[in-house]
């Protein structure tokens, strides 16, 4: 099965000078950060020592500032400028990964149609909000070469696409507890108990992400309106932002009083990278993202992540293979290894009334 990888690539130029390709530079800076010396970093990056120095000098000439600092007994460390370059790259990757992964998946499908013309190979179309368990699933499916076309989009867009038969699986998440009914009703406008069912993907923990050590002493949502606290938000229409809006309304907190409310990042990792780079003090997201970027985490609630599908799709052989993967211990181990996630009910299939008892559909 064809596999397409699309990665961000950026260059830096000053006036009309030839642009600096950051790919080699960033790999070298990351290696220096990990190894603590240029010689070890060059070896780890597969570069000669002389070439590595040339890359560093070229970049320092462009910026007019050093990228490294050395001290007796401390080895070689990145300057603030070099750290900002590394964090910029991590933020770019975190922000663009859903879009690039979706494009890669679409391209795989189109190339596969040409390459396997006449074979009759089908593909499961998966629309889902971005999440670590979904990413782990697509990686698992790649290994067994089960053809899936993934499009990352908001939860509401995903279930709407399922209702219009534009996809076969629609991923969405619903909080447990006080906000479950209000959230579920928004999705149930598109889901018909007589036509659709749900498969449980994971349970996961949502909360506030804060700078390492929580220097501002953030304890909960009420602290977000502090004038000096900088907040980074998710994009409008995302399930996480929708949930945050409900929590703020319930708590009587004016969201317009939050410094940074109108900012927008498209993944939990992008929010975490924004905070880790020092550009914000707090955001909302998964515990997994907090640990990925070594941030503090303040739990707010747990939620369930589902795939919705048409009942008649249960009889499809390709869908049956995917559902069988969801019940495999190997995938459960991947989910349980994600901080804040659990696979206690992963792979179980429920009717809509079973998943949301007491909620009129």
Q: What is the CATH number of the domain that holds 333?
A: 3.40.190.290
In a domain, 360, yes or no: no
Whether residue 346 contacts residue 327, with contact meaning beta carbons closer than 8 Å, is answered with yes
Claim to verify: residue 93 and residue 73 sit in the same structural domain: no
In a domain, 1, yes or no: no
- What does the pLDDT read at residue 73? 63
Residue 239, token pair as written in the block: 């399930």
- How long a stretch of residues is the chain? 361
Q: Which long-range contacts (CB under 8 A, 24 or more apart) does 256-259 make?
A: 257/225, 258/224, 258/225, 258/231, 259/226, 259/227, 259/228, 259/229, 259/230, 259/231
- What does the pLDDT read at residue 12? 84
Claim to verify: residue 111 and residue 47 sit in the same structural domain: no
- What does the pLDDT read at residue 120? 46
Claim to verify: residue 96 and residue 46 sit in the same structural domain: no
In a domain, 50, yes or no: yes
Claim to verify: residue 191 and residue 109 sit in the same structural domain: yes
Q: Which of 78, 111, 129 is the last residue of a domain?
A: 78
Whether residue 303 contacts residue 174, with contact meaning beta carbons closer than 8 Å, is answered with yes
Burial class, 210, CB count within 10 angstroms (exposed 0-12 / middle 13-18 / buried 19+):
buried
Q: Can you give the residue range of the structural domain that contains 52?
A: 17-78
Tokens 């070439």 correspond to 51
In a domain, 191, yes or no: yes
Q: What is the CATH number of the domain that holds 35?
A: 1.10.10.10
Q: Residue 48 and residue 54: Cα distance in Å, rounded? A: 10
Claim to verify: residue 40 and residue 108 sit in the same structural domain: no
**φ, ψ dihedrals at 149, nearest 5°:** -105, 115
Claim to verify: residue 248 and residue 273 sit in the same structural domain: yes
Whether residue 65 contacts residue 238, with contact meaning beta carbons closer than 8 Å, is answered with no
- What does the pLDDT read at residue 101? 79
pTM of the model: 0.82
In a domain, 152, yes or no: yes
| Total domains present in the chain | 2
Beta bridge mates, 286: 206
Claim to verify: residue 55 and residue 97 sit in the same structural domain: no
- What does the pLDDT read at residue 72? 66
Q: Residue 25 and residue 322: Cα distance in Å, rounded? A: 41
- What does the pLDDT read at residue 207? 97
Q: What is the largest CA-CA distance in the chain?
A: 72
- What does the pLDDT read at residue 45? 87
- What does the pLDDT read at residue 194? 95
Task: Note down pLDDT in tens along the chain; length 361 residues.
Answer: 667 778 888 888 877 778 888 889 998 998 998 888 889 989 988 889 999 999 999 999 888 999 998 876 667 889 989 988 888 888 888 888 777 777 877 777 677 665 545 444 578 999 998 889 999 999 899 888 898 989 988 999 999 999 999 999 999 999 999 999 999 999 999 999 999 999 999 999 999 999 999 999 999 999 999 999 999 999 988 999 999 999 999 999 999 999 999 999 989 999 999 999 899 999 999 999 999 999 999 999 999 999 999 999 999 999 999 999 999 999 999 999 999 999 999 999 999 999 999 777 6
Claim to verify: residue 60 and residue 122 sit in the same structural domain: no
Claim to verify: residue 139 and residue 287 sit in the same structural domain: yes
- What does the pLDDT read at residue 9? 82
Claim to verify: residue 120 and residue 246 sit in the same structural domain: yes
Claim to verify: residue 92 and residue 191 sit in the same structural domain: yes
């Amino acid at each position: 099965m064809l596999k397409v990888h699309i990665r961000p690539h950026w260059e830096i130029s000053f006036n009309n000078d030839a642009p600096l390709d950051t790919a080699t530079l960033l790999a070298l800076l990351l290696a220096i950060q990990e190894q603590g010396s240029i010689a070890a970093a060059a070896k780890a990056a597969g570069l000669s020592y002389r070439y590595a120095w040339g890359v560093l000098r070229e970049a320092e000439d462009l910026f007019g500032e050093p990228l490294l600092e050395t001290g007796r007994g401390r080895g070689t460390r990145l300057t603030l400028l070099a750290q900002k370059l590394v964090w910029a790259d991590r933020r770019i990757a975190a922000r663009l990964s859903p879009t690039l992964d979706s494009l890669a998946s679409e391209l795989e499908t189109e190339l596969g149609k040409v390459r396997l013309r006449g074979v009759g190979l089908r593909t499961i179309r998966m629309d889902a909000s971005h999440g670590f368990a979904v990413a782990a699933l697509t990686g698992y499916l790649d290994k067994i070469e089960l053809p899936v076309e993934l499009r990352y989009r908001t939860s509401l867009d995903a279930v709407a696409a399922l209702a219009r038969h534009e996809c076969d699986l629609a991923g969405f998440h619903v909080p447990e507890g006080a906000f479950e009914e209000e959230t579920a009703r928004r999705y149930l406008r598109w889901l018909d108990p007589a036509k659709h069912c749900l498969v449980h993907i994971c349970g996961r923990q949502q909360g506030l992400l804060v700078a390492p050590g929580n220097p501002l002493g953030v304890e909960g949502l009420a602290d977000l309106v502090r004038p000096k606290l900088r907040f980074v938000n998710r994009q409008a229409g995302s399930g996480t932002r929708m949930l945050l809006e409900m929590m703020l309304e319930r708590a009587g907190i004016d969201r317009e009083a939050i410094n940074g409310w109108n900012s927008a990042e498209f993944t939990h990792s992008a929010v975490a990278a924004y905070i880790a780079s020092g550009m914000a003090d707090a955001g909302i997201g998964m515990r997994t993202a907090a640990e990925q970027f070594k941030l503090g985490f303040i739990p707010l609630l747990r939620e369930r992540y589902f795939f919705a599908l048409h009942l008649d799709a249960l009889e499809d052989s390709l869908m049956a293979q995917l559902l069988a993967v969801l019940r495999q211990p190997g995938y459960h181990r991947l989910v349980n290894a994600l901080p804040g996630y659990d696979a206690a009910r992963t792979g179980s299939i429920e009717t809509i009334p079973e998943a949301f008892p007491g909620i009129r559909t």
